[in-house]
């Protein structure tokens, strides 16, 4: 699978930290929002980063080019098993290894939970193909490479919809619950690779920019009265990779919302 290089002129400069120097991080769905924030944080701390998207090629290339460390952009639709495996292959071809896989790519559309007719077979299938099958295919392809490095990591970005009966659709909530269970099963069976999940509440991203009523509801109910930011999720992701004795954990990042809902 073809890749495109990002700018790397700042590697080794004072603007790039050394904490993750020599490590390679693949962040799926990283052309904007949560994935972009995660890519930026790892790059600023010295990692080589692969940026990915299924369709937003120009945006993905811009993100990769703007990262302070060495980076590459790879277009791949993870719901296609061949492209998912090709994304892992392209990462290892470009950088020679894979240390951290952040499964952030996902898809949803808003469907009221009490409207079964609106939750069409097409929506149901696509939600599972991207969120569950795509994550599974990537993870299976990544595990042999993660076994070859010290402290291989998988971090799945899930949702509070996986731990509460909420979310943009019933299908979406089901997929995030599946990913949380997948996280714990993989952590149990594939150590010393560490597998954890970050489960945010509503996050203020370009995807949710017109969800004004939902953001207002979160701000009125959560003990920390606002929606999450992409950087909140990035910080939780970094925390899992930094703490070398965490595996099988699901970190809820929702400002305490699930405590009151």
Q: Is the pLDDT confidence value at 15 over 60? A: no
- Lowest mean pLDDT across 3-7, 159-163, 176-180, 220-224: 3-7
pLDDT score of 210:
87
CATH 3.40.50.720 assigned to 4-254? yes
Give per-residue pLDDT as tens, 146-163: 999 999 999 999 999 999
Crossing angle (nearest 10°) for helices 170-189 and 121-128: 20
Which phi and psi angles does 45 have, rounded to 5°?
-100, 15
pLDDT score of 144:
98
Contacts of 27 (CB under 8 A, 6+ apart): 35, 38, 39, 42, 49, 50, 51, 52, 102, 104
Among candidates 210, 257, 5, 227, which has minimal Cα distance to 110? 210
**Checking phi first, is residue 28 left (phi over 0); if not, alpha (psi -120 to 50) or beta?**
beta
What percent of the chain is predicted at pLDDT more than 90?
A: 90
Q: Give catalytic residue positions.
A: 172
Among candidates 35, 67, 26, 40, which has minimal Cα distance to 152? 26
Q: Is the pLDDT confidence value at 221 over 90? A: yes
Place 261 in a pLDDT band, splitting at 50, 70 and 90: confident
Structural domain boundaries of the chain? 4-254
Strands (E), the chain: 4-5, 24-27, 48-53, 71-75, 100-103, 153-157, 194-200, 250-253
- Could you give the count of Cα atoms lying within 13 Å of 201 in the half-sphere of its Cβ? 22
Among candidates 115, 103, 110, which has minimal Cα distance to 127? 110
Residue 155, beta-bridge partner list? 102, 196
Place 1 in a pLDDT band, splitting at 50, 70 and 90: low
Structure tokens at 185: 């099963």
Among candidates 31, 29, 155, 138, which has minimal Cα distance to 84? 138
- Could you give the count of Cα atoms lying within 13 Å of 151 in the half-sphere of its Cβ? 12
Q: What is the mean pLDDT of residues 6-31?
A: 73
Tell me the average pLDDT of the chain. 94
Structure tokens at 92: 């290892």
Give per-residue pLDDT as tens, 103-150: 999 999 999 999 999 999 999 999 999 999 999 999 999 999 999 999
């Amino acid at each position: 699978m073809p890749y495109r290089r990002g700018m790397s002129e700042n590697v080794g400069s004072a603007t790039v930290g050394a904490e993750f120097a020599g490590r390679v991080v693949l962040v799926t769905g990283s052309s904007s929002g949560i994935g972009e924030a995660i890519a930026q944080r790892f790059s600023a701390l010295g990692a080589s980063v692969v940026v990915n998207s299924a369709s937003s090629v120009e945006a993905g290339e811009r993100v990769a080019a703007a990262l302070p460390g060495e980076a590459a952009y790879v277009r791949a639709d993870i719901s296609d098993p061949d492209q998912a495996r090709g994304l892992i292959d392209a990462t290892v071809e470009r950088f020679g290894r894979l240390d951290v896989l952040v499964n952030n790519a996902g898809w949803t559309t808003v469907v009221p939970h009490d409207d079964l007719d609106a939750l069409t077979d097409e929506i149901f299938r696509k939600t599972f193909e991207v969120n569950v099958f795509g994550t599974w295919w990537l993870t299976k392809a990544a595990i042999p490479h993660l076994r070859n490095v010290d402290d291989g990591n998988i971090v799945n970005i899930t949702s509070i919809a996986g731990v509460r009966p909420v979310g943009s659709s019933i299908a979406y909530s089901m997929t995030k619950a599946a990913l949380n269970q997948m996280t714990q099963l993989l952590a149990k069976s594939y150590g010393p690779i560490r597998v954890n999940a970050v489960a945010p509440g509503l996050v203020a991203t370009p995807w949710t920019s017109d969800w004004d009523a939902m953001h207002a509801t979160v701000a009125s109910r959560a003990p920390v009265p606002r929606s999450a930011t992409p950087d909140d999720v990035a910080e939780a992701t970094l925390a899992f990779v930094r703490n070398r004795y965490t595996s099988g954990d699901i970190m809820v990042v929702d400002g305490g919302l699930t405590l009151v809902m």
